[in-house]
A and B are shown apart, each in its own frame.
Chain A
Amino acid sequence: MYDVVVIGGGAAGLAAIHSAYDPTLKLLLIEREKTLGGILKQCIHNGFGLHHYKEELTGPEYAERGILSVKDLSFETMLDTTVADVEKKSDIFHITIMNTELGEAVIQAKTVILSTGCYERTRGAIQLPGTRPKGIMPAGSAQRYLNIDGYLVGKKVFILGSGDIGLIMARRMRLEGAEVLGVAEIMPYSNGLTRNIVQCLHDFDIPLYLSHTITDIKGIETLEAITISEVDTHFQPIAGTEKTFEVDTLLLSVGLIPDIKMFDSLKFDVSSLTNGAIVDQRYQTSIPGLFACGNALHVHDLVDFVTEESEKAGRFAKDYVLKTKAEKRQLITIDPGDKVRYVLPQYLDITQNFDETVLSLRATESALRGTFNIHQGETLIHSKKARFVAPAEMERLVLKRSDLVSEAPLKVSFEVGT
């Protein structure tokens, strides 16, 4: 019986097991791939670590820092191991795993931390019209083929979606000799960092078509051409604005979703806003002893905050397993209010001792200046001014225990302006 099992050995899992470590506990880290580090290994560009390590690192370098940080801790690691199912029976988690050494096996744990990352939305998720030839794939898949496996997936490329992965791959494929004909974004603004617009698109004269989407795909066996059209304010294509590009590859950078399907048997509460687990300030899900962190909980834009969040989840999991008596939870909700898409955690467990907790949230609109407000019932209990707010960038508020005035639900809202 393990005290803590961490599922997923990327940035989140490494930080979680690091802080869950205790010499008296039996810990296990399970990783699907043959090496630790997760998605960072294929993110070879730099820009990681400015918050956490106060220096600019590439993805693989950030991963290696995480791996080094746990090198001297004694815990078990299972690599090349897939988790097929997790169930909870009479307070114990039963984890069905598969690998070449054990075949199928069931291991038991007192607590489990889900740090399984996220997956990319595919063309099915956005209902692209046209034929279904090969040559259409998520940008992150193409990134793996190129940066790890050494295959350039195409020579004439178009990219749908202006998220950072799409922009990074536009530059990357151009540098490796592919022609990148353009990037289309359905929104009137880019979802990527300005730095990436400049250094990935402008540097290579790659056009960005804002308020455009794909309206046709041609090719039977392989992709031959795509057509884009401008969209109106209701995102409907405008007739007569079609532009056709002959391409062999279409990369999709159209969103990420927490990868928690393999935990369906547990039936924990999932948020329709984040597509991840609903948690309290200890990152504990609706199932006692089950914790979640990183992109498996909600999709982050900076790995630094994945590390920070996962360190906390690991610490709370350790506290949970070390505590002697059963606990009761008393939860008050933290809801998104006006102009806020989601807030995490969704619950505050007021039986817990805490001085302060960090709320992660996203606004629904961009603003040069604005104010985030936390209300408890009708009372304004916390306000924070913010600059350069954008839906693509996660905001963070520090809520203090002493801010609370009652046991009423909390609501976080955003006010545009000074």
Chain B
Amino acid sequence: MKKEMICIVCPVGCHLEIDENLKVQNNKCKRGEVYAKKEILNPTRMLTSTVRINSKHQARVSVKTTDAIPKQSMFKIMEMLDDVALEVPVNLGDVVIKNVLDTGIDIVVTMSLKA
């Protein structure tokens, strides 16, 4: 079965096709082939979200993964973030969850909030 996808490596945006033998078609360059294979074998995404905080200015503070995490773990990590409640002060880069789902990737705060 063939799978279609749009390559996002460069602005050309080739409409790629990849089959079950990982044969990539319609790519104008080698990078499209690498992209399509990664999207099939090990798709990853940066995840950004927010967690609770007791700041007087805002109810949530923004967080991110320090690197791209496996795409299929996005909702699992969102659930884990539901249980996080931080207290001010926080500083940009503070670790919220270390080594999330054993990926070696941390969840960190992306803004500083004073007490």
Contacts and interface: CB of A to CB of B under 8 A. Distances in A.
A50 interface: no
Contacts of B5: 198, 202
A147 B62 CA distance: 7
A198 B8 contact: yes
A61 interface: yes
B58 A149 contact: yes
Nearest to B50: A147
B48 A44 contact: yes
Nearest to A150: B59
Contacts of A34: 57
Given A46-B64, A176-B78, A388-B11, A64 B112 contact: yes
A149 B112 CA distance: 16
Contacts of B58: 148-150
A147 B74 CA distance: 17
A127 B51 CA distance: 37
Contact of B110 (A58, A198, A199, A387): A58
Interface in B38-95: 45-50, 52, 57-60, 62, 64, 71, 74-75, 78, 92
B74 A175 contact: yes
Contact of B92 (A61, A146, A368): A61
A195 to B, nearest CB: 5
Contacts, number: 72
Interface residues of A, dominant DSSP: helix
A196 B71 CA distance: 15
B101 interface: no
Contacts of B71: 203
Given A35-B57, A45-B48, A64-B92, A58 B64 contact: yes
Nearest to A61: B110
Contact of A194 (B8, B46, B62): B8
Interface residues of B, number: 27
B6 interface: yes
A194 B112 CA distance: 31
Nearest to B8: A195
A44 B108 CA distance: 12
Interface in B10-47: 11-13, 45-47
A117 to B, nearest CB: 18
Contact of B78 (A45, A61, A175): A175
Interface string A55-72: 000111101100000000
Contacts of A60: 62, 92, 110-111
Interface in A11-49: 34-35, 41, 44-46
Given A58-B48, A64-B111, A149 B11 contact: no
Given A194-B11, A387-B11, A150 B48 contact: no
Contacts of A195: 8
B34 to A, nearest CB: 16
B14 to A, nearest CB: 10
A109 interface: no
B111 A41 contact: yes
B60 to A, nearest CB: 5
A58 B63 CA distance: 9
Nearest to B12: A388
A25 B18 CA distance: 62
Which of A60, A147, A176 counts the most B-chain CB atoms under 10 A from its CB?
A60
Contacts of A118: none
B52 A150 contact: yes
A197 interface: yes
Contact of A44 (B12, B59, B110, B112): B110
B94 to A, nearest CB: 13
Nearest to A35: B57
A149 B48 contact: no
The 6 closest A-B pairs by CB, nearest first: A150-B59, A60-B111, A388-B11, A44-B62, A195-B8, A194-B13
Given A149-B59, A388-B12, 18 more contacts: A41-B111, A44-B50, A58-B48, A58-B110, A60-B62, A60-B111, A64-B111, A148-B58, A148-B60, A150-B50, A150-B59, A175-B74, A175-B78, A176-B49, A194-B6, A198-B5, A203-B45, A388-B11
9 contacts: A44-B64, A45-B48, A61-B111, A64-B92, A146-B60, A148-B60, A175-B49, A197-B6, A202-B6
